A and B are shown apart, each in its own frame.
Chain A
Amino acid sequence: ETGVTQSPTHLIKTRGQQVTLRCSSQSGHNTVSWYQQALGQGPQFIFQYYREEENGRGNFPPRFSGLQFPNYSSELNVNALELDDSALYLCASSPQIAGPSTDTQYFGPGTRLTVL
């Protein structure tokens, strides 16, 4: 059984550019959540995908968008990058049986995004 994987590990972009981050969920997990972790802070919820549909969103602007694919992998897209978007972006997957739940979210290692 493989864990949650994310790519790339590190990324450097400039202000105004667009970025796509990728996540492969743990085997058997159909729910993926994305979090932003600024330096020295706890992770902040961006949004969650369940069976390819967005299942809730945190306090992030629309330029943060996502996708979930039939194999439950996911992408996080950020448009018009700002300096404050520099952070560690974490993907977490969880197994859902009867419906979305927060039980036992398993986190990937994250993608470190630096915006210059």
Chain B
Amino acid sequence: QQQVKQSPQSLIVQKGGISIINCAYENTAFDYFPWYQQFPGKGPALLIAIRPDVSEKKEGRFTISFNKSAKQFSLHIMDSQPGDSATYFCAASIDSGGSNYKLTFGKGTLLTVNP
């Protein structure tokens, strides 16, 4: 059972364009939604994260949009650059002070930004 579904599997955008990656989750108990960026040969690095009490969070060129009723959240990368070319993972967890803790990841999106 895949608890976090991510799409698209791969994405090609032109430099300066907007990259949009979507995720949907099933478990309504999830209350922490991070996005990770992974370059080849490296571990995932936290980009930005959101909790369900807000519908949007922006950090620089990266924005998370969150729709609690639809159980969906998305990552928008504005003014995409070739250096953003990487694999992006959405994740979800239940952050309830110890009763659960594991990050459940989507399958990833390979983003290629052409110069």
To the question of whether A and B form a pair in one complex, the answer is yes
Chain A binding surface SS class: loop
Q: How distant is the Cα of A35 from the Cα of B89 in the complex, in angstroms?
A: 14
| A44 and B105 in contact, given A99-B98, A100-B98 (Cβ under 8 angstroms) | yes
Shortest distance in angstroms between A74's beta carbon and chain B's nearest beta carbon? 15
Q: How distant is the Cα of A45 from the Cα of B104 in the complex, in angstroms?
A: 7
**A4 touching B43, Cβ below 8 Å:** yes
- CB contacts (< 8 Å) of B91 on chain A: these are 42
**A102 touching B44, Cβ below 8 Å:** no
Which of B34, B41, B100, B101 has its CB near the most chain A CB atoms (within 10 A)? Answer: B101
- CB contacts (< 8 Å) of A42 on chain B: these are 4, 6, 89, 91, 105-108
Q: How distant is the Cα of A105 from the Cα of B95 in the complex, in angstroms?
A: 12
Chain B residue total in the interface (Cβ 8 A) = 28
A30: Cβ under 8 A from any B Cβ? no
**B101 touching A48, Cβ below 8 Å:** yes
Task: Pick the contact of A102: B4, B36, B101, B105 (CB < 8 A).
Answer: B101
Task: Pick the contact of A56: B34, B43, B102 (CB < 8 A).
Answer: B102
Interface residues of A in 28-42 (CB under 8 A from B): 33, 35, 40-42
Contact with B along A39-80 (1 / 0, CB 8 A): 011111100100000011010000000000000000000000
Q: How distant is the Cα of A109 from the Cα of B102 in the complex, in angstroms?
A: 19
Shortest distance in angstroms between A25's beta carbon and chain B's nearest beta carbon? 13
25 contacting pairs across A/B (C-beta < 8 A)? A4-B43, A33-B101, A40-B107, A40-B108, A42-B4, A42-B105, A42-B107, A42-B108, A43-B44, A43-B89, A43-B103, A43-B105, A45-B104, A48-B102, A58-B102, A99-B97, A101-B97, A102-B101, A102-B103, A103-B95, A104-B46, A105-B46, A107-B44, A107-B45, A109-B43
Listed in ascending order, the chain A residues whose CB lies under 8 Å from chain B are 4, 33, 35, 40-45, 48, 55-56, 58, 90, 92, 98-110
Listed in ascending order, the chain B residues whose CB lies under 8 Å from chain A are 4, 6, 32, 34, 36, 41-46, 49, 89, 91, 93-95, 97-98, 100-108
